[in-house]
Amino acid sequence: MGKNEFFKYFVNSKNDIDSGFYIENVGNSVVPAGTEYPYKHHPASHYFKWEKGRFLKEYQLLFISKGKGIFESRHGGKYELIPGTLYLLYPHEWHRYRPLTSTGWEEYWIGFNGKFADNIISGSFFSLEEPVVYLKNILPIQSLFEEIISFGKEEKPGYQQIITGLVLQVLGQIQFSFRSRNFLGKPIEEKINKARALLNENINSPVNFKEIAMRLNISYSLFRKRFKEYTGISPKQYYLQLKTKRAQDLLLNTSSSIQNIAFETGFENIYYFSKSFKEKTGHSPSDFRKSRIYASKE
């Protein structure tokens, strides 16, 4: 390991693996212009030559903070790597990457695996076909990677859980950056927040989404589209989730009948309330109430 590089490959306990999200390795390196890449002192499972590329058994998330390079993968094709680039290597997916000899680069990486990791990645911004994202604001992500490296170096008790949390912060920061990039500081963001406030204020009564759009001086189709882009769900589903959360609170903390709760949360009848509640929670209102009562007595 050279003075411009740090890496560590971890031994995982059964508890780490059973958690569903465990850290395999972390590292960072500064590669000066004209330097051969990659360095040769990595394990054989992770070292590769440009001509052949490589397959990994785990995910690796890499971040370029300085310099430029190129990246290729089987499903994603070719990408230019510049400062602020994050790219995800998928398990068993052929890939290769390297800095330009004229610029070199500074890179950070973290390898992780597990069933929970699979679920997180499947719902993230990344995909096999689009494994690369470009961020304008570099510092928040770089700070998180530096913190990850710091915990990796020390390897104190609980480091796996702390690093996992930081990886989730990185993924969350990416989602936030891309979901909010078309909204921050723009009038549409204020309109969406007003719409959410109106839906919260009217949980116990029917709402007309087209009327809400009119009140906000925006077409219904555009309102629905922008609302879903901003929140991740449609206005109707957002509203139903609000009503469901309110119903859960009433079921757990009051003795009110299910029929009255259906009325208090603005459903047309108890049948529609029960159907909607089960779709959202996986339980009927009565089963939800019973299961929580029994759980509290144990």
What's residue 31's pLDDT? 93
What's residue 183's pLDDT? 63
What's residue 239's pLDDT? 92
**Contact between residue 204 and residue 265 where contact means Cβ atoms under 8 Å apart:** yes
What's residue 44's pLDDT? 84
Q: Which of 94, 28, 9, 111 is nearest to 67 (CA)?
A: 28
What's residue 18's pLDDT? 92
What's residue 81's pLDDT? 97
What's residue 5's pLDDT? 86
Whether 188 shows a pLDDT value over 90: the answer reads no
- Domains of the chain: residue spans and CATH: 5-180 (2.60.120.280), 187-297 (1.10.10.60)
Mean pLDDT along residues 271-282: 90
For 7-20, b/e burial (b = at least 16 CB within 10 A) is beebeeeeebeebe
The length of the chain in residues reads: 298
Radius of gyration of the chain (CA): 24
What's residue 294's pLDDT? 43
Query: For the chain, how long is the longest CA-to-CA vector?
Result: 74
How many other C-beta atoms can be found within 10 angstroms of the C-beta atom of residue 5?
Answer: 16
Q: What is the pLDDT of residues 66-100, one digit of tens each?
A: 999 999 999 999 999 999 999 999 999 999 999 99
Q: What is the pLDDT of residues 225-269, one digit of tens each?
A: 888 888 888 999 999 999 999 999 999 889 899 999 999 898 888
Helix, strand, coil percentages (3-state) for the chain, rounded to 5, are 45, 20, 35
What's residue 199's pLDDT? 93
H helix runs in the chain, sequence order: 14-18, 115-122, 139-154, 159-180, 187-201, 209-215, 220-231, 235-253, 258-264, 270-281, 285-297
What's residue 40's pLDDT? 78
Q: What is the pLDDT of residues 14-50, one digit of tens each?
A: 999 999 999 999 999 999 999 889 887 888 889 899 9
Mean pLDDT along residues 164-186: 77
Task: Quote the distance between the C-alpha of residue 219 and its chain's center.
Answer: 30
End-to-end CA distance of the chain: 55
What's residue 41's pLDDT? 80
Q: What's the CA gap between 79 and 150, in Å, rounded? A: 29
Q: What is the pLDDT of residues 115-163, one digit of tens each?
A: 999 999 998 889 999 999 998 888 889 999 999 999 999 888 889 999 9
**Contact between residue 62 and residue 108 where contact means Cβ atoms under 8 Å apart:** yes
What's residue 295's pLDDT? 44
Q: What's the CA gap between 62 and 89, in Å, rounded? A: 8
Q: Which of 78, 98, 181, 174 is nearest to 133 (CA)?
A: 174
Query: Burial, 185: exposed, middle or buried (Cβ in 10 Å; 0-12, 13-18, 19+)?
Result: exposed
What's residue 149's pLDDT? 93
100 to each of 32, 34, 35, 38, 276, how far by Cα in Å? 10, 8, 9, 12, 55
What's residue 178's pLDDT? 66
Q: What is the pLDDT of residues 104-115, one digit of tens each?
A: 999 999 999 999
What's residue 182's pLDDT? 61
Query: Burial, 253: exposed, middle or buried (Cβ in 10 Å; 0-12, 13-18, 19+)?
Result: exposed
38 preceded by a cis bond (ω within 30 of 0): yes
What's residue 184's pLDDT? 63
**Contact between residue 43 and residue 80 where contact means Cβ atoms under 8 Å apart:** no
